[in-house]
Structure 1
Amino acid sequence: MKSDSFDFEDSTMKRRQFLGAAVGGAAALGSDLSGLAQGAVAPVARRIPIGFLGAVHSHGLPKLRLASKSPDWEVVGVAEQDAATRMACEKLGVPLLNQAEVIERSEVITVESAVPDHARHALLALKAGRHVHVEKPPAETLEEMREMIRLAQQARRVFQPGYMWRNNPAFQKIFEAARAGWLGSIYSIRAHMSNAASPGQRREWGQFKGGSMFELGVHMLDPIARLLGKPVKVTPFLRTDHPVQDAFRDNNVAVLEFERGVAVLLNNSLQSSRLPVRSFEVLGTGGSASIRPIEPPVLEIDLAQAAGPYQAGPQSVPLPRYERYVDDLAELARAVRGERPLGVTLEEESLVQEVILMACGMAT
């Protein structure tokens, strides 16, 4: 499959995001943290006004709960039409507002609406000059994603798609090992991402040609793309194998071919076992690394020779306690304040979106 290339200016996107965050956040701090006298107590970081456009996505209410409890955020409200979700928001003590009120009162907008509304809501917030966290998948087309990136660059705003395992310590250890060369040249990645889709999810996700691969498989396509780059060929196999034959592609495989490697992603929403079957395995000329389960993460590394903190041979890697979304929201707050840029550049975000669409049979 063939997709249009995306040209960026010479400076890196990470630098652009950091500069943009500094404009919107560092000035508001009103203090130079690096200039604190020895022994002085650092000032308490300001709480950043954050609003939600939607909370009906399965990740919406958990993020809303965490933001409400976090010292980083002041939740100004949520705009949501779904009655059950509105009731859940009220129980959390979150004000119910309209879209205009949420955008007006917020410095950061979190988009947790239904998947078909992600791009529309994110673009609305970016055009209003707000920093944006948008639930995955962020867009149905590459053009929509490019427009989000353009607006974020133009207004120097932080733009963070919500791929929930970017701050999972097991994935971070794999990226560290890969970038340091401890795994050698990576020639194979195998991933499995499954769930048991509810009837409502089947209806919603069935709107997209990519089906479960587009809504669920993206969590694995994200690290595959960032580890291996742009594939030379992607072959998706999109199937409906549920006894009730609807429009939802629920049993899928994507084969991604690279110049010197291959990745295979198995994705389904037919699972009957209690725990979701989710795993990620990387093979390189210097060793291998595998995560299973992913939550709570268990990481095994096997190296041909000792490298970095690891000995030669198979070993279990100690990992810190991990709670989904917590570090993502903390990373977002640091970027908005201008303290540290996001770990994924806008150039990488464009690549991830391009690979997702190819693997979902949705590239044009």
Structure 2
Amino acid sequence: MSQAIRFGVLGCGRIVRRGFIPGIAATPGASLQAIASRRPGVARDWADEHDVPRAWDSYEELIADPDVDAVYVPATGDEHARWTIAAAQAGKHVLCEKPLARTVAEAEQMIAACNEAGVILQEAFMWRQHPRAQKTLELLQEGAIGSLRIILASFSFDLPRTDWRLQPEKGGGAMWDLGCYGVDASRFITEDEPVAVHAHARWWETGVDMTMQIALSFPGDIVANIDCSFEAPFRCHAELVGDAGRIVLPDAFQPGEESVILLQRSTQRGAPLEEIPVPPANQYACQVAAFCESIAAGRRLAPAEDGLANMRVLERVLADAHRNRDR
């Protein structure tokens, strides 16, 4: 690209400081032009801390900024549709945090608005752009573990009980926040959509799922077992099991700068796991770079996720969990 994509950020949350700002700083084709917060003075403090040229005390002002080409939406789930649509109508490309929306209907409205405006909408599943994800697909396609049979994915941590993610009206729940990764990974790995969905949950007093078990069946008799929880120790693990071996992905959705793939090329008990090297990478920088490439191309480039297909599966998962709750 001849000119860097100028980003604006709608909010000053944890993921912005921990992930997006370092990621964009490490991306030559991008710059952080503006940041907004609805808490008076907060955006200015962050802008000073991170050398951001502009600070706004409202999201509307940032979206109207003519020197912003794209916005990053890290807001609570109930605000994704509102600000994505507003940004699209202002001609801004949108990188939106996962899950894309609270419902399939909201996601469809967001996508329609972006298509009508001719802007790119990408869901922020940053792990997809990390080189380990592509290397994993290559190993599967090479038959390193034979024919894929089972996908296992676990993601959990102990969430403070005052967190907004326990509020259903904001799109809270372990499935929306954590289970979405396992569902997305299963679809990414199989390069297909599930033909059957089953789910069971333990529910919190607010009405959201606190812990959930998800079972997906894919074409080719591939099964995925996914668990997620807000009331368990930190776990972030994925394993792909074939009829001739297995692949283990430690820190599956949060790989550090240095990450590995563990490969067992045997079904024998005690067979060694070899380490497959992966180029060092910041997954947030990978995500920003890929998004900028999509903007330059005028279309979303693989392996970026548009979010709608994943939303359709997640909505089915939640519906099945509610049906099983009432039995």
Q: Bin the TM-score by the shorter chain.
A: 0.7 to 0.9
Q: How many residues align?
A: 306
SS at structure 2 position matched to 1:250: strand
Given that 2:120 and 2:299 are in contact with CA atoms closer than 8 Å, whether structure 1 keeps it comes out as no
Larger mean Cα displacement after TM superposition, 281-290 or 114-123:
281-290
How far apart in 2 are the matches of 1:205 and 1:361? 18
Change (3 A) 1:363 1:155: farther
Q: CA deviation at 1:254?
A: 0.8
Partner of 1:22: none
Residue 196 in 1 paired to residue 196 in 2? no
Query: Contact 2:168/2:206 (CA < 8 Å) preserved in 1?
Result: no
Aligned-residue offset at 1:65 = 4.3
Q: CA deviation at 1:318?
A: 1.0
Match of 2:275 in 1: 316
* Aligned match of 1:325: 284
Cα 1:227–1:70 change in 2 (3 A) is closer
Please list, as runs of the form range in 1=range in 2, the aligned pairs for 1:207-356 lying within 5 A after superposition: 207=168, 211-228=173-190, 229-240=192-203, 245-259=205-219, 260-272=221-233, 276-294=234-252, 295-296=255-256, 297-303=259-265, 314-338=273-297, 342-344=301-303, 349-356=307-314
What's the TM-score, normalizing by structure 1?
0.74
| C-alpha spacing 1:101/1:293, structure 2 compared with 1 (3 Å) | closer
**CA RMSD across the alignment:** 3.0
Q: Please give the secondary structure, in 2, of the residue aligned with 1:59.
A: helix
* Of 102-111 and 332-341, the range deviating more from structure 2: 332-341
SS state of the match for residue 119, structure 2?
coil
State the Cα distance separating 1:350 from its structure 2 match: 2.4
TM-score, length-scaled by structure 2: 0.81
**One-letter code aligned to 2:196:** K
Instruction: Give distance in 1, aligned partners of 2:88 and 2:141.
Output: 32
**Aligned-pair identity (%):** 22
Moved >6 Å (runs of 4+): none
When structure 1 is superposed on structure 2, of 257-266 and 176-185 the one drifting more is 176-185
Distance 1:140 1:299, change over 3 A: same
Cα distance 1:290–1:75, how it changes in 2: closer, same or farther (>3 A)? same
Where in structure 1 are there 5+ consecutive unaligned residues?
1-28, 30-44, 306-311
The letter of the residue matching 1:131 is H
Q: Using the alignment, how far apart are the partners of 2:172 and 2:36 within structure 1? A: 28
2:72 paired residue number: 110
Note closer, same or farther for the CA distance 1:279–1:354 as it changes in structure 2 (3 Å cut): same
Output aligned runs, 1:90-105, within 5 Å: 90-94=48-52, 95-97=54-56, 98-104=58-64, 105=66
Which structure has the higher relative contact order (CA within 8 Å, separation 6+)? 1
**Contact persistence 1:141–1:363 (CA under 8 A):** no
**CA drift at 1:330:** 1.2
Return the alpha-carbon distance in structure 1 between the equivalents of residues 260 and 42 of structure 2.
Answer: 33
CA contact (8 A) 2:38 2:59 kept: no
**In structure 2, what is the Cα distance between the partners aligned to 1:323 and 1:293?**
14
The answer to whether the 8 Å contact 2:151/2:225 transfers is yes
**Superposition deviation, residue 190 in structure 1:** 0.7
Return closer, same or farther for 1:82/1:355 CA change in 2, 3 Å cut-off: farther
CA contact (8 A) 2:199 2:320 kept: no
Shift of residue 174 of structure 1? 1.6
Tell me if structure 2 keeps the 8 A contact 1:55–1:80.
Answer: yes
Aligned to 2:21: 64
> Once the 2 structures are TM-superposed, how far is the Cα of residue 300 of structure 1 from its aligned partner?
1.1
